[in-house]
Amino acid sequence: MENSKIVVGLDIGTTKICCIVGRKADHGKIEILGMGRADSLGVKRGMVFNIDQTVEAIRLAVNEAESKASVEIAEVNVGIAGQHIKSMQHHGIYTRKMSGEDTITQVDIDALIDDMYKLAMLPGEQIIHVLPQEYIVDGEMGIKQPIGTPGVRLEANFHIITGQTTAASNIKKCIEKAGLTMKDIILEPLASSEAVLSQEEKEAGVALVDIGGGTTDLAIFCDGIIRHTAVIPLGGNIITEDIKEGCNIIGKQAELLKVKFGSALASESQENEIVSIPGLRGRDPKEISVKNLANIIQARLEEIIEYVYHEIKNSGYEKKLLGGIVLTGGGAQMKHITQLTEFITAMNTRIGYPNEHLAPGSPEDITSPMYATGVGLLMMGIQSEEKTKSSTPANTNKKKEEVTGHSNPKKKGSWFSNLLNKTTEFFEDDAIK
């Protein structure tokens, strides 16, 4: 698979910007060639608010990935998230032009999906994804794969994801200012789901919860199809803010405390455990109770998980999720978070690691839940490349040769016919004079 095209995933997050370079390896696995990351200073709650700072961070991450992978990056697949993301259901109809015993093809499905992108949206909003749920052919319902089915009237129920035009536009501006081309823009929970969920889980029913720095993203799958998406404007950063305020310390110390000593369950911490933090400019060190720290973290995580559970109940799929909840993202690394989630939702919970699809020898760092979105963007980019490659007709080159042949008729014909043409042209020119 040495000749597989190199693809790049760029995750523009609230806390970090991550660039992952990879390609398809043997047995359908993904080979990671290099990864770069930089602190994200210009992004807040998943949305770009300072273009210059974001561009600088993108350049740092891309340069690091380029040096590790020994390749030059030109185009990237980028993720989009934020509170502005919305979803809705829509029903589409497409009437085919029948000719004999023709069956439905990918062209018909693409035509129906393209029609959905033409829907009138509210001012300032645009459609990001059109995701088919199930198809109806001539009134026959519940068809998952209509290609090859004979029929005239093709209908489908769609899950349509929309976002603010300015949010997508700002991402594109940042990519272009960094000297790159945006190949595709992908909803981040969709990307994360590719990296951490199995097809069996999607069939059985599962809720993916991606706890990032600025937002918590939810994607619900059932019968192998995405059914509901939501973005909750709370993430790991707000927990850090709570620790900063509650313990009266600076932000960097609060983040280190959260990562090294934090727990989602206060009952699992000992009363006599104390952490000493150096004082500022020679002041006395500050002592913080680990139990008190866990109480602060648990209170905020309970709020986030309750929001998630409320969305799951509103979706109508609460009782159909045999796969339970899969937690991923940087926030999923918190100690005892699975126990707290199971206690609040009474649903089976596990942590989603993006290692199942990675080829042996991949960097250990990248198997962390915090890189699930970046790996997913890379995987979706590879899938898009394969789809484009497979949709190219096998006889394309033949057609080009035929067109080239007809476009230069002087190469065809005998020596006598060429001489006759030249003689005719000579007399015509003489007559004009």
Q: How confident is the model at residue 99 (pLDDT cuts 50, 70, 90)?
A: low
Least confident of 275-279, 370-374, 417-421: 417-421
For the stretch 180-223, pLDDT in tens is 999 999 999 999 999 999 999 999 999 999 999 989 999 999 99
Show Cβ contacts of residue 117 under 8 Å, excluding neighbours closer than 6 positions.
127, 130
Which of 45, 263, 265, 197 minimizes the C-alpha distance to 275? 263
Whether the per-residue pLDDT at 397 is higher than 90: the answer is: no
Residue 65 resides in a domain: no
Q: How confident is the model at residue 269 (pLDDT cuts 50, 70, 90)?
A: confident
User: What gap in Å lies between CA 262 and CA 398, rounded to an integer?
Assistant: 64
Whether the per-residue pLDDT at 242 is higher than 70: the answer is: yes
Residues in the chain: 433
Question: Six-digit token pair at 352?
Answer: 């989603």
Least confident of 92-106, 328-342, 407-421: 407-421
Does this model's pTM top 0.85?
A: no
Show Cβ contacts of residue 134 under 8 Å, excluding neighbours closer than 6 positions.
141, 142, 143, 144, 156, 157, 225
Same domain, 207 and 257: yes
Whether the per-residue pLDDT at 137 is higher than 70: the answer is: yes
Query: Average of pLDDT values for 137-147?
Result: 89
Asked if 312 contacts 321 with a C-beta cutoff of 8 angstroms, the reply is yes
CATH number at residue 127: 3.30.1490.110
Same domain, 323 and 220: yes
Question: Six-digit token pair at 274?
Answer: 């104390």
What is the model's pLDDT at position 262?
92
What is the model's pLDDT at position 414?
45
Q: Which of 105, 136, 163 is the last residue of a domain?
A: 163
Question: Six-digit token pair at 121?
Answer: 């949206």
Q: What is the mean pLDDT of the chain?
A: 86
Same domain, 121 and 224: no
User: What gap in Å lies between CA 380 and CA 372, rounded to an integer?
Assistant: 12
Question: Six-digit token pair at 213?
Answer: 């720095």
What is the model's pLDDT at position 333?
93
What is the model's pLDDT at position 278?
85
Whether the per-residue pLDDT at 126 is higher than 70: the answer is: yes
Same domain, 347 and 205: yes
Which of 3, 11, 1 minimizes the C-alpha distance to 366? 11
What is the model's pLDDT at position 162?
93
Strands 125-137 and 30-39: unpaired
Same domain, 339 and 409: no
Q: How confident is the model at residue 330 (pLDDT cuts 50, 70, 90)?
A: very high
Q: How confident is the model at residue 28 (pLDDT cuts 50, 70, 90)?
A: confident
Whether the per-residue pLDDT at 433 is higher than 70: the answer is: no
Whether the per-residue pLDDT at 419 is higher than 50: the answer is: no
Same domain, 157 and 223: no
CATH number at residue 220: 3.30.420.40
In SS3 terms, the chain reads as: CCCCCCEEEEEECCCEEEEEEEEECHHHCEEEEEEEEEECCCEECCEECCHHHHHHHHHHHHHHHHHHHCCCCCEEEEEECCCCCEEEEEEEEEECCCCCCCECCHHHHHHHHHHHCCCCCCCCEEEEEEEEEEEEECCEEEECCCCCCECCEEEEEEEEEEEEHHHHHHHHHHHHHCCCEEEEEEEHHHHHHHHHCCHHHHHHCEEEEEECCCCEEEEEEECCEEEEEEEECCCHHHHHHHHHHHHCCCHHHHHHHHHHHCECCHHHCCCCCEEEECCHHHCCCEEEEHHHHHHHHHHHHHHHHHHHHHHHHHHCCHHHCCCCEEEECHHHHCECHHHHHHHHHCCCEEECCCCCCECCCCCHHHHCHHHHHHHHHHHHHHHHHHHHHHHCCCCHHHHHHHHHHHHCHHHCCCHHHHHHHHHHHHHHHHHHC
Q: How confident is the model at residue 393 (pLDDT cuts 50, 70, 90)?
A: low
What is the model's pLDDT at position 432?
44
What is the model's pLDDT at position 431?
44
What is the model's pLDDT at position 284?
84
What is the model's pLDDT at position 403?
34
Which of 188, 179, 76, 175 minimizes the C-alpha distance to 128? 188
Percent of the chain with pLDDT over 70: 88
Same domain, 154 and 278: no
Q: Which of 355, 386, 413 is the last residue of a domain?
A: 355
Same domain, 347 and 246: yes
Most confident of 178-192, 280-294, 377-391: 178-192
Number of domains in the chain: 3
Q: Which of 331, 355, 379 is the last residue of a domain?
A: 355
Residue 67 resides in a domain: no
Whether the per-residue pLDDT at 352 is higher than 80: the answer is: yes
Same domain, 257 and 140: no
Least confident of 80-84, 186-190, 324-328: 80-84
Whether the per-residue pLDDT at 100 is higher than 60: the answer is: no
Same domain, 338 and 402: no
Same domain, 274 and 225: yes
Domain range enclosing 110: 86-163
Same domain, 318 and 233: yes
Question: Six-digit token pair at 98?
Answer: 């029948």
